[in-house]
Amino acid sequence: MTRSFVNIINEWDIVAARQLCREFAKELGFGIVDQARITTAVSELARNIFLYANQGIIIVEKIEKDGSVGLIIIAEDHGPGIGNLAKAMEDGYSTSGGLGAGLPGVKRLMDDFSIDSEVGKGTVIKTAKWLR
């Protein structure tokens, strides 16, 4: 198992994405707290797809670099895109209602984070976590 995915179409798919990534992390040897962190990040990304892009995909992949092992989550959609990325990555912006972790939260939960978004085309977020 090096690569799996879940299509996000309805709210239950968020649960499927969580389940998939938690199992994936567990198998790679992540501890229970890191499993919870990865799952929370996936949950957030899947929920963003469900709420703002209607549909998209969550991919989880095993990665290796310089002898380290980890996983990467790719969240991809063809939704409206994010106009102001700086704002979306700002603390307190997406969480001002006190809900959710927002993209800064995802970034904090994981080790590496990158985002590409184009208005009218969609968004690709890649985020990785390494086994310590």
Partner 1 sequence: MDFQESLLWKYKDILTKYLAVQSEQTLYLTQKLSKEILENHIPPEEVINLHKSVLNELIPEVPSEVLVSFDILLEIMMSYGLAYLEHQSLRYKQMELEMELEFGANMQKMLLGSAIPKYDYLDIGAISIPAKIMNGDYFHFDIDSDQELKVAIADVIGKGIPAALCMSMIKYAVDSLSYSKHNSPEVVLERLNRIVEKNVDLGIFITMFYGSYNPKQHVIQYASAGHEPGFFYNKKENSFVDLQAKGLLLGIDPHVTYPKFEISLEIGDMIILLSDGVTETRTEDGFLEREMIIDLLNKYMHLSAQEIVNNIYRDLSKIQHYQIRDDFTMIIMRRLV
Instruction: Kindly list the residues in this chain that would bind partner 1 in the complex (CB under 8 A).
Output: 31-33, 36-37, 40, 91-92, 95, 101, 104-105, 108-109
50 with 79: CB under 8 angstroms?
no
Shortest distance, CB of residue 121 to partner 1, whole angstroms? 29
Shortest distance, CB of residue 86 to partner 1, whole angstroms? 14
Q: Which is nearer to partner 1, 94 or 117 (CB)?
A: 94
97 with 107: CB under 8 angstroms?
no
Q: How many CB atoms lie within 10 A of CB 131?
A: 13
Shortest distance, CB of residue 54 to partner 1, whole angstroms? 25
Shortest distance, CB of residue 76 to partner 1, whole angstroms? 23
Nearest to 75 by CA among 51, 98, 48: 48
DSSP state of 29: T
Q: Which is nearer to partner 1, 63 or 115 (CB)?
A: 115
The answer to whether the Cα torsion of 73, 74, 75, 80 is positive or negative is positive
Q: Which is nearer to partner 1, 41 or 82 (CB)?
A: 41
Q: Which is nearer to partner 1, 36 or 85 (CB)?
A: 36
The two beta strands, 112-118 and 68-77, are: unpaired
